[in-house]
Amino acid sequence: MSKIFFVIPCYNEEAVLAETVKQLTDKIGSMVSEGKISKESKILFVDDGSKDKTWKMIEKYNEENPYVSGLKLAHNAGHQNALLAGLMKAKDLCDAAISLDADLQDDIDSLDQFIDKFHEGCQVVYGVRDSRETDTAFKRGTAQGYYKILSFLGVDIVYNHADYRLMGKPALEALAEFKEVNLFLRGIVPLIGFKSDYVYYSRNERFAGESKYPVKKMMKLAFDGITSFSVKPLKTISHVGIIISLLSIVGLVYVLISYLMSDTVHGWTAIMGSIWLLGGLQLLCIGVVGGYIGKIYSEVKARPRYIIESFVNKEG
Ligand code: UDP
Ligand code: MG
């Protein structure tokens, strides 16, 4: 029977932990008794350098509840890094790990479906929100615009999926091959491949405490999502440079004709001509340099170039 780890990053979550432990313990208990998961399954709380009682509480739950384990980070590394730390810890101990938020916004009644899909052979199961009704209009609008930008930039990402997902051991091992420091897990996981599927759920409201994702952290994550997966912005500079250079030729003709018809101030022709032509050429050159920087960037990330799913070699 499969041993599942529920990986939960926590940053100053003392207000929600008790309820989260209670609800998840009940859920795991019922899945164990239904024979869906092994009784060695665990909740792995990752304390992301909390300043409140979060770690003390995790230690206490670990003492009294056989399903609870904890990992403490030495400082606040951020949600994505905390999640990665938990997944990498779970990798060697479980058959599959499911990541979810401490505030149970990710509906735990959908957990059965994740497990079912895993048993059907999926190595990655994405939790996808089927509506954004619980979001403010601002969050809904920016999130949807952001997905559009990402897909325009050629970033392969699952629409309306955050970090509620199951990953089997081979997918976790593949994830360990990605060495980048600016983490945007929902961009990396689709790059891994393997058989995958979706589970649709509706996201609840945070039931206590406040969001640990202020606009500043969200902007950083959004920016990482673009710059870690697309060098298109760099290429765009070249394209703009080419367009301006071409347009400047038309401009040159125009300023020359104006000059010949002598209805211009002395010196205007040379200034106008050179501004446009040089501006265009400069952008083009920056774009070319950007092209090389983009290459250096992808080399430095040293992502795995392929991931092996299986190897068959029948003897004889
Ligand atoms: N979190 C974390 N480190 C941080 C910020 C957030 O581990 O620096 C955790 C947080 O405890 C929660 C999850 O990331 O379990 C999602 O955060 P939150 O619910 O505050 O974000 P929101 O749902 O408001 O986007
Ligand atoms: Mg939340």
For 191-207, what is each residue's pLDDT tens digit? 999 999 999 999 888 88
Lowest mean pLDDT among 48-57, 94-103, 128-137, 168-177: 128-137
The alpha carbon of 196 and the centre of ligand 2 are apart by a number of angstroms equal to 25
**Residue 260 CB partners (closer than 8 Å, separation 6+):** none
Which residue from 225, 78, 63, 17 is spatially nearest to 86, judged by alpha carbons?
A: 78
For residues 158-183, average pLDDT: 94
* Residues near ligand 1 (Cβ within 6 A): 9-11, 13, 48, 76, 78-79, 82, 101-103, 105, 206, 211-213
Q: Where are the beta strands (DSSP E) in 130-177?
A: 161-168
Listed residue (84, 65, 83) closest to 9, CA to CA: 83
- The pLDDT-based confidence of 274 (bands split at 50, 70, 90) is confident
The confidence score (pLDDT) of residue 3 equals 96
- Residue 24 burial class via C-beta count within 10 angstroms: exposed 0-12, middle 13-18, buried 19 and up: buried
Give per-residue pLDDT as tens, 230-263. Answer: 888 888 888 999 999 899 889 889 888 988 888 7
pLDDT of residue 22: 96
Secondary-structure percent of the chain, ordered helix, strand, coil, rounded to 5: 50, 15, 35
Distance of CA 147 to the CA centre of its chain: 12
Location of structure tokens 């994830």: 175
The superfamily in CATH containing domain 4-229+304-312 is: Spore Coat Polysaccharide Biosynthesis Protein SpsA; Chain A (3.90.550.10)
Give the number of the ligand closest to the Cα of residue 102: 1
Question: Which helix (H) or strand (E) is 39 found in, with range?
Answer: none
Contact between 275 and 255 under an 8 Å Cβ cutoff? The reply is no
Which residue among 11, 163, 204 is best mutated to probe the pocket of ligand 1, counting the most ligand atoms within 8 A of its Cβ?
A: 11
Query: For position 316, what pLDDT does the model report?
Result: 64
For position 309, what pLDDT does the model report? Answer: 66
Cα separations in angstroms, 105 against 12, 32, 234, 237, 253: 16, 23, 37, 40, 62
- 296-316 pLDDT tens trace: 888 888 888 777 766 767 876
104 Cα: distance to centroid of ligand 2 (angstroms): 7
Token pair, residue 87, equals 């997944």
Quote the pLDDT of residue 310. 65
Q: How confident is the model at residue 70 (pLDDT cuts 50, 70, 90)?
A: very high
Burial 4-23 (b: 16+ CB within 10 A, else e): bbbbbbbbbbbbbbeebbee
pLDDT band at 33 (very low <50, low <70, confident <90, very high): very high
Distances (CA, A) of 165 to 7, 179, 270, 287: 10, 20, 61, 38
Q: What is the pTM of this model?
A: 0.86
Ligand index nearest the alpha carbon of residue 220: 1
Instruction: Please provide residue 114's backbone torsions phi and psi, each rounded to the nearest 5 degrees.
Output: -60, -45
| Domain boundary assignment for the chain | 4-229+304-312, 232-301
For residue 226 the two structure tokens come to 């673009």
Fill in the amino acid letter for 184: F
Which strand (E) or helix (H) includes residue 97?
Answer: strand 96-99
